[in-house]
Chain A
């Protein structure tokens, strides 16, 4: 007879694990939490005699020095005059805002004794709704980057000399005066995607004073293609945003709307709000994803179609045709009549089913559908999607339009290159932009810029700074005054938390100086702008309210709604676009990196070490290939391949991604910045050089095996929960699908249990000794956490938030290769498939599971600790007393969840020394959490510092218990989809108790009688019955 778990799907993380599972074997070395590090032992060439000598010497020295150790004298330095409301040791939060590309988050930044240390979302801001993302979390580390640009530089013949700010200003002023007398002729201003009303005002002044100057946009994160499409259709300044709060059927075309697209946090939250059924009857939305490489949005999809990025436009045209012919929707004639190459039968069947579902989603008055196109797609594809959304009646529902009447018209970098080539542009001002690095390689922008006089303003001495005549250091956003208007129109004032650490100026201050010739402090610029907007209605009281709330209110607006009419022009663009660009057997598509974005986080150690959400690669990028394409090329992981576009080629290691579209290679931007700093050095390869002018994001080229290898390290097999051979399958992830009547298996979360709860026997029952039995859980509150696998989309935000909150060090690439990364949360990514069908690799289903300390009530780690350094609290926490730990690592060995981390090399100190982050990085540390030393085990503490703080506040107020929702762990706070819930499981009214009682709730490996406090809500997929 079959055992209950034998009919379950197989889950695997790496290709090795997949092959081993198919063969019924154990994954090699799966039993080693820390792989054998023979190389490391042989690196140190000390013989036996030398070793004994060192041992004796160190013992003698230790004896000598420890006897003489005196208690260090510590000084207390109180303020001479303490600022009002500042209490030493008590954090203060300030509202400000963080912008990246078209995405804006209102944030609350935590200041500890004047040091910004942590970013939280502003719950009042529509773009963050209390959550943030990986980049907002990591942005605080950029502030303390010791390799930031700190002084003004002047360069001639490639040799930089330091310059005082005043002297640099005088020299740039001379340039500007000359340009001004020529009416701005020959002057170019290169700006990033600008959403700040104050900066825009200064740019307008600049245009007035330099009427012939040209303004160019250089920002790979800008929503340039979507904007180009809507501006082509509805005129300059037209904008649109997607909204998913009522969309029952969502089609995302090459659109990673949960990961990196504009407004990803808001979209992920809106999507998740219709994604967590509590009972089998509850309604769910359905997600279709069509994309070339697996993204986290693809992981969340109910149906995912791998498709080359260059075929997405054709896919949408086929969908539009199907909607028109089968469902009679209306579409603008110039688009309908365009001929295109049809897909095969199988694809057409899928398109027909999707079309039907999009129509059906409108069945209820309050629901609808949404068709999203990613920024990587050219404008004409956005145009087709706008036509489809219009036909489906999604206007003002899942797609909303607005007129951004303040928008600055910019030109493309192609025009800049042409101007530089012709010599019509002589002076280039780069305001926080880096065109020498991030412009498409075909333009050879670095060579062109070297011909002109370049003034570069940036946070690093980067690629453009190297070819510039003058380089001026730029302030971090936590050091600057400013303002920012999000895509849907929410305005925030940005206030600094700290004076500039170095002699830097903000982008607003520099723009104002360029525009007017005067240097005015940033706060005066922002205030005077808003005073001019509000006139007599501006008051100090209102200004303070804005700063406090992080929101600007009471601004009179004339809402102009753009109407899309220029369909004939769009039709022509589509006809041209359909022809495609580039020549070659393979499609080469480029992606903003889910870690470094366009390279702006390249010198940020947290982001470099963060495992890529899909490949789990750290410190590197790679050429992502499908298993079939890799076989065809004869390459395995880490084998070097040459990617060639035109005559430009780059060698980089291959990495096989199941679910990648055939004959495509996906490359992540932002790497290969060896000279930016110690962190960025040696990380990955720069692929901007391959980008073509016609369509920077997708082109065609050749991919060949280069020979040789470059070792890159993925954490995908680290901390496996599968013990290997001779063990029964233990379903770690549990899922089911919806059916017409509910769920395929209503009790799916329980069927994976190997043992019925009654059959579990306590190991301690025979033991009557009070101190040796099961922990006594006598606390008034019993902490527990529930993680909803339906809501979790694997975005990594919790991993970085935890790192920032808990002073977790980075270890570097070499140590990651030994499995020694320190992240307290491991986001396990499992591919899954049916072993009966051979677990196909071309498009497997995927699921994420955050794995962190489970705070087992009967924790296996506790009873193997020889020094009781890990013990249970009466409130159910698995406590860790770092100073007691002697580093035997028995606990890590005995932890079935593999969530304990060992600090092998005093990584916190190494971050300061080897990574040249000293002494600034000390300023980012959270004073409420111990900075752990070498030789100590550490792990998730459920943010015990936050629990203690809440308890202390409750106790001081005379309350016995902490109210539900008062304690928010760092991972819970950052989560865009509210997948993590923490609270008191014994309070029947608490959110966590209700979730634990739900039928989807299950614990991992409960058959070991660990009684974990962290439990999961099993995943429910909502497939389209017609496509199953």
Chain B
């Protein structure tokens, strides 16, 4: 009786035995990286209805973050400013710029400018800016060098493991509370020991349990 399978098929098990682990490891590694927010989210840079440049406003002109994001110390959200905030300056500066037309229209009609959300957490995660600011976590720790971004993009994965990395060991990411909006503050250069800071009223115990963020 002739053989059904040709002779070379005898090598298939061997090939699987040798190549299989590599392919498997490759698959796992691929999913590990390419399916994680490190790949899918970092660098997310949607096109905004108005080409607002943070580099120009926060970087070159040195405006404080809180001039526009003024609810950040009072509410969970660092609210996107109302159109009226833009018009505080732009009723005098660049008042005829075609790029600012959506802003002027919004101010006149009362219809919101449809900004696209960049930093988007899932609905079951409840993030609150207030305690992070009070603890001395700088804006740039999570949002990156906004002052150097012409178009804002996600600088960090904002994944649960990334949050927990800091919650488990917050000290390297802390800075004096008055330096929060200082984009250029560098923990490696500007050495800071939170334990020695007399302005700190309480020891930090960031939550690591479920209900700290999931309600």
B116 in contact with A88 (CB, 8 Å): no
B83 in contact with A87 (CB, 8 Å): no
Interface residues of B in 158-215 (CB under 8 A from A): 201-203, 205, 207, 209-212, 214-215
A81 in contact with B201 (CB, 8 Å): no
Contact pattern, A 873-901, Cβ under 8 Å of B = 1, otherwise 0: 11001011111100000000000000000
Interface residues of A in 951-992 (CB under 8 A from B): 952, 955-956, 958-960
A944 within 8 Å of B (CB atoms): yes
A78 in contact with B75 (CB, 8 Å): no
Give CA–CA (A89, B134) in the complex, Å: 19
Q: A80 is contacted by which of B75, B82, B201 (Cβ under 8 Å)?
A: B82
A881 in contact with B210 (CB, 8 Å): yes
B215 in contact with A941 (CB, 8 Å): yes
B10 within 8 Å of A (CB atoms): no
Q: B123 is contacted by which of A80, A877, A930 (Cβ under 8 Å)?
A: A930
B84 in contact with A82 (CB, 8 Å): yes
Neighbouring A residues of B209 by C-beta, 8 Å: 871-874, 877, 879
A82, closest chain B residue (CB): B82
Give CA–CA (A534, B198) in the complex, Å: 56
Neighbouring B residues of A874 by C-beta, 8 Å: 209
A928 in contact with B130 (CB, 8 Å): no
B105, closest chain A residue (CB): A80
B211 in contact with A877 (CB, 8 Å): yes
Nearest CB of chain B from residue A886's CB, rounded to whole Å: 15
Give CA–CA (A880, B215) in the complex, Å: 8
A536 within 8 Å of B (CB atoms): no
Stretch from B12-20, B93-101, B106-114, B139-147 at the A interface: B106-114
Neighbouring A residues of B215 by C-beta, 8 Å: 928-930, 941, 944-945, 948
A365 within 8 Å of B (CB atoms): no
Q: A88 is contacted by which of B77, B207, B211 (Cβ under 8 Å)?
A: B77
A68 within 8 Å of B (CB atoms): no
Stretch from A7-15, A69-77, A665-673 at the B interface: A69-77
Neighbouring B residues of A76 by C-beta, 8 Å: 80, 114-117
A45 within 8 Å of B (CB atoms): no
Contact pattern, B 67-95, Cβ under 8 Å of A = 1, otherwise 0: 00001011111011111100000000000
Given A81-B83, A883-B214: A952 touches B114 (CB 8 Å cut-off): no
Contact pattern, B 39-58, Cβ under 8 Å of A = 1, otherwise 0: 01100101000000000000
Given A87-B79, A930-B123: A956 touches B210 (CB 8 Å cut-off): no
Nearest CB of chain B from residue A268's CB, rounded to whole Å: 31
B73, closest chain A residue (CB): A956
A727 within 8 Å of B (CB atoms): no
Contact pattern, A 30-71, Cβ under 8 Å of B = 1, otherwise 0: 000000000000000000000000000000000000000001
Give CA–CA (A929, B82) in the complex, Å: 26
B74 in contact with A948 (CB, 8 Å): no
Nearest CB of chain A from residue B112's CB, rounded to whole Å: 4
Neighbouring B residues of A74 by C-beta, 8 Å: 116-117, 120
A3 within 8 Å of B (CB atoms): no
B116 in contact with A871 (CB, 8 Å): no
Q: B112 is contacted by which of A77, A945, A948 (Cβ under 8 Å)?
A: A77
Interface centre among A80, A941, A948, by most B CB within 10 Å? A80
B82 in contact with A930 (CB, 8 Å): no
Interface residues of A in 130-186 (CB under 8 A from B): none
Neighbouring A residues of B74 by C-beta, 8 Å: 87, 90
7 cross-chain CB contacts under 8 A: A78-B79, A78-B112, A78-B115, A80-B109, A90-B71, A873-B211, A955-B135
Query: What is the interface of chain B, defined by CB distance below 8 A to chain A?
Result: 40-41, 44, 46, 71, 73-77, 79-84, 106-107, 109-117, 120, 122-124, 126, 128, 130-131, 133-135, 201-203, 205, 207, 209-212, 214-215
Query: What is the interface of chain A, defined by CB distance below 8 A to chain B?
Result: 71, 73-82, 87-90, 780, 871-874, 877, 879-884, 928-931, 941, 944-945, 947-948, 952, 955-956, 958-960
Other A-B pairs, 5, CB within 8 Å; known A883-B214, A955-B134? A80-B84, A88-B75, A930-B215, A948-B212, A959-B201
Would you list the 9 A-B pairs with minimal beta carbon distance, nearest first? A958-B201, A77-B112, A879-B210, A873-B209, A82-B82, A881-B210, A74-B117, A879-B211, A80-B83
